[in-house]
Amino acid sequence: MSELLALGVSYKTAPVALRERLALTDGAAERFVQELVEGGDVAEAVAISTCNRTEFYLVVSDAVAAEVALLSQIARRSGMRPTELSSVVYAPRNCDAARHLFRVTSGLESMIVGEHEVQGQVKRAYETALAAGTTGPLTNRLFTAALQTGKRVRTETEIGVARTSVSSVAVDLAQEVVGELASRDVVIIGAGETSELTARAFAEHGVSAMFVANRRADRARALAERIGGSVVPLHDLPAQMESADVVVSSTSSPHPIVGVDELELVMAARDGRPLVLIDIAVPRDIEAACADLPGVTLLDIDDLQRVVAGNLQGREGERDDAIEIVEQEIRRFASWMGQLDVLPTIAALREQASIVAEQVLAENAGRWETASPRDLARVDAMARAIVQRVLHEPTLRIKALADADVETPGHGRLEIVRELFGLESGAHGGRDQAARSTDAEVRPLRRRAGDGSAAT
């Protein structure tokens, strides 16, 4: 029987130094999930990698074996020992895995509770997996439901109001260090979504002198035009940093953009003027040793944690409302997931009982030489009526398992039913067919994902 397995690390379980070793760019995530599915032990796979977490959502037949294999593969890729990972990973299954994703998408698991960026990050991760061809009926339903849950939470609650995004908190931290921002020069390294949100947040504070540096000149120019800033070629970054007050970096580079030796030369040219560096990338764009240079204040993604407590005050009511929405959506998903097992099991049980009745009738056909066709029809009808009545109560009870409380799912009891009646092969095939029937809902999404369009 297929199971849903989630495995990951987050800021709650691992520091940024470890998280950056596990981080995946979009291209790396696509290749990784393809390798997982091609290996044969994983039927479906989606990878989410952000500054705060790297998580995998898998559909597998043996969750224990898949967890061990995935840990080994991650360890090899990151140059770590599996034992190093085992102490920081979490691996919920089935409805617990779904609940975790729903909470992530809703911003309930974010460092800044209620942040908006994570919804887009989950959406892009799903689109990447769709384009890679590694999703399937279960993950399609899972991520569609998760994105809908996140949308409900942000529409029906105010959990995401005020300073609840990485970009806005980064601006707050900069202001805390340098004071009034309107007269400061700010350099943004990177031209992605987080960089744009950060630039806009600085603009709201009156910053007009903003410079954008990025490897792709076209993206840098487009962002600079939108925020009213200027473009700095990446090779001119050191010169621009000599006059900057704040530098914010958020790229997807696998290697540091700012090194300690380079920054040491920059600081020597600044005549003692302090410089604030805010690194909100994972892997980090700025070498950690830069913090040791005189006059440098370096803040990374983990430094945002101290801002969270203040942002959460007075918002527990909104958080409770968001959690209730998540639980409502989990109950719907659990009911759907339960049907994947229940309906095929019922069908297989009834089919097997009908076959037994037909076999008994066939075995005794020679004993009723004098029976008329009408009598034989009555015997056949009686046999089928007995099958229906015997299976009536078990059918009702098996159906009830699909509506079981999500904390006490009926997977284990269904497995006992299958074992008792020898339904393994039939139930498995039926379950796959039941799941496939829902896949039609997301096929248009797969086509759109290939075009780079939205998935929801």
Residue positions annotated with a catalytic role: 51
Tell me the one-letter amino acid at 397: R
How many Å apart are CA 107 and CA 316, to the nearest integer?
14
Pairing of the two strands 53-60 and 42-49:
antiparallel
**Contact (Cβ atoms closer than 8 angstroms) between residue 175 and residue 203:** no
**Contact (Cβ atoms closer than 8 angstroms) between residue 117 and residue 169:** no
* Helix 94-106 × helix 137-156 angle, to 10°: 40
Give CA separation, 178 vs 79, 209, 275, 308, in Å: 39, 15, 9, 20
State in Å, rounded, how far the first CA of the chain is from the last one. Answer: 29
**Contact (Cβ atoms closer than 8 angstroms) between residue 50 and residue 118:** yes
- Residue 163: closest CA among 119, 113, 105: 113
257's enclosing H/E stretch is none
Could you list the beta-strand ranges (E) of 258-383: 275-279, 296-300
Pairing of the two strands 186-189 and 42-49:
unpaired
**Contact (Cβ atoms closer than 8 angstroms) between residue 5 and residue 91:** yes
Q: Buried b / exposed e across 227-264, counting CB within 10 Å, b at 16+?
A: bebebbeeeebeebbbebbbbbbbbbeeebbbebebbe
How many Å apart are CA 430 and CA 348, to the nearest integer?
8
How many Å apart are CA 250 and CA 202, to the nearest integer?
15
Could you list the beta-strand ranges (E) of 181-242: 186-189, 210-213, 230-231
Residue 446, classified by CB atoms within 10 Å of its CB into exposed (0-12), middle (13-18) or buried (19+), is middle
Q: How many CB atoms lie within 10 A of CB 385?
A: 11
Give CA separation, 440 vs 136, 139, 357, 365, in Å: 10, 13, 36, 46
How many Å apart are CA 69 and CA 109, to the nearest integer?
26
**Contact (Cβ atoms closer than 8 angstroms) between residue 64 and residue 161:** no
